[in-house]
Amino acid sequence: MTYIIVILTVLMLYAFARRALVHGAVKTLIDAGSGAISGWIAGILIGIGARVGMWTIPFANGTASRASLEGSLQVVLVFSLFGIGLGLLYELLFRSLFRRRGVLYGLLITIVTAYPIGSAGFQQLEFPPSPAGAVASSLFFAGLMFIPFAIANEYILTLIRRVRIRGKFASTSFSLTQ
């Protein structure tokens, strides 16, 4: 998973520099802040999906789940922080590339992270899964985490952009009337 984070960090820095040259540093910082905020809010869905995946491991092993409210909140909070980086990456690099289609970004993240997430989960199982079952369940649980996140992230970014545009026009019309 570390190699993925390094690659994404390099991509994010490149995208930020490229975008700052075209649109200016201030607008790029504002967009990056919007991406981070929307990613964190939508990242709650990553945490919920991760918790559901963690709950299924004891279920698959035939043991009782030891899930607690405190542990579930910690998992949701920690995994929601991943949304900050993913939201930044989407806003700075992939949003225009995918033409504001969050589901495509969710599918990309699902494909990239299915193996690391699946292999971590399979280490907790008391039986070896079949190869087809391993691939299917890895894609399912990674998709459960990242596809709803990406759709919600795009929705929140669109709302933030609308509020920013309305605020800009409101201040422009106000200054023109005086």
Give yes or no for residue 160 having a pLDDT over 80. Answer: yes
Residues 30-46 have a mean pLDDT of 94
Nearest alpha carbon to residue 82 among 114, 105, 50, 108: 50
DSSP 101: -
Residues 69-87 have a mean pLDDT of 91
Q: Which residue has the higher pLDDT, 42 or 130?
A: 42
Token code pair at residue 51: 């918790």
Q: For position 130, what pLDDT does the model report?
A: 85
Q: Which residue has the higher pLDDT, 17 or 4?
A: 17
Residues 156-165 have a mean pLDDT of 90
Token code pair at residue 80: 């929601």
- Residue 177: pLDDT band (50, 70, 90) is very low
Contact between 145 and 45 under an 8 Å Cβ cutoff? The reply is: yes
pTM of the predicted model as reported, rounded to 2 decimal places: 0.83
- Per-residue pLDDT tens digits for 45-74: 999 998 988 888 888 888 888 888 999 999
Q: For position 63, what pLDDT does the model report?
A: 86
The chain-wide mean pLDDT, for the chain, equals 87
Q: For position 1, what pLDDT does the model report?
A: 64
∠ CA 8-11-15, nearest 5°, is 135
